[in-house]
Amino acid sequence: MEFPKDLKYTKEHEWVKVEGNIATVGITDYAQDSLGDVVYVELPQEGASVTKHEPFGVVESVKAVSDLYAPLSGSVTEVNDAIVDSPEAINEDPYGDAWMIKVEISSASELSDLLNADEYQKFIEEEK
């Protein structure tokens, strides 16, 4: 299982890539593996605002529904509509093709709450 070093992570199993004041958000390899085959995804509209720790969307595997939690607060500048049509991309390429939303960060101080790859990996080891 992969946890790229250049990404930040949350305990709700989202990853974040920060470039300037824009954060790209997706779910981790661990999350997609635990979910199993993803068959449906629901994402917010462009322009919607998201709040840290609040649900911003939903992923569904064959068996279950799971909320997606915003790692940061801000407004959505871009939505990856391609994964709505091909949700299996979330299983195949969680850190690449299957990014979910881009968020304009409203509060840079929230960045310090995110985990680095090592911390996240340690967290999921403990969770198992």
Partner 1 sequence: MVPFAGWEMPVQYTGVIDEHLAVRSACGLFDVSHMGEIEVSGDSAIDFVQFVMTNDIERIKDGQCQYSPLCREDGGVVDDTIVYRFNIDRYLFVVNASNTAKVLDWFRQVQKKEAFPDLFIEDLSGIYSQIALQGPKSAEVIKSLLDLDPKEIKTFYFHMGLLNGEIEALVSRTGYTGEDGFEIYLDPADAPAVWQALMEAGKPFGIAPIGLGARDTLRLEMGYPLYGHELSDEITPIEAGLGKYVKFTKDFIGREVLERQATNGTAKSLVGLKMIDAGIPRAGYEIQSNGSSIGTVVSGTSSPSLKAGIGTGFVTTPNKAAGTELDILIRGRAAKAQVVPLPFYRK
* Positions in the binding site for partner 1 (CB under 8 A): 36-37, 39-40, 42, 58, 60-63, 65
Q: Which is nearer to partner 1, 65 or 108 (CB)?
A: 65
Q: Which is nearer to partner 1, 37 or 118 (CB)?
A: 37
Q: Which is nearer to partner 1, 5 or 63 (CB)?
A: 63
With residue 41 as reference, give the H or E element that holds it: strand 38-42
**Residue 120 backbone zone (phi > 0: left; psi -120 to 50: alpha; other: beta):** alpha
Smallest gap from residue 34 Cβ to partner 1 (A): 10
Cα–chain center distance at 125: 19
Smallest gap from residue 82 Cβ to partner 1 (A): 15
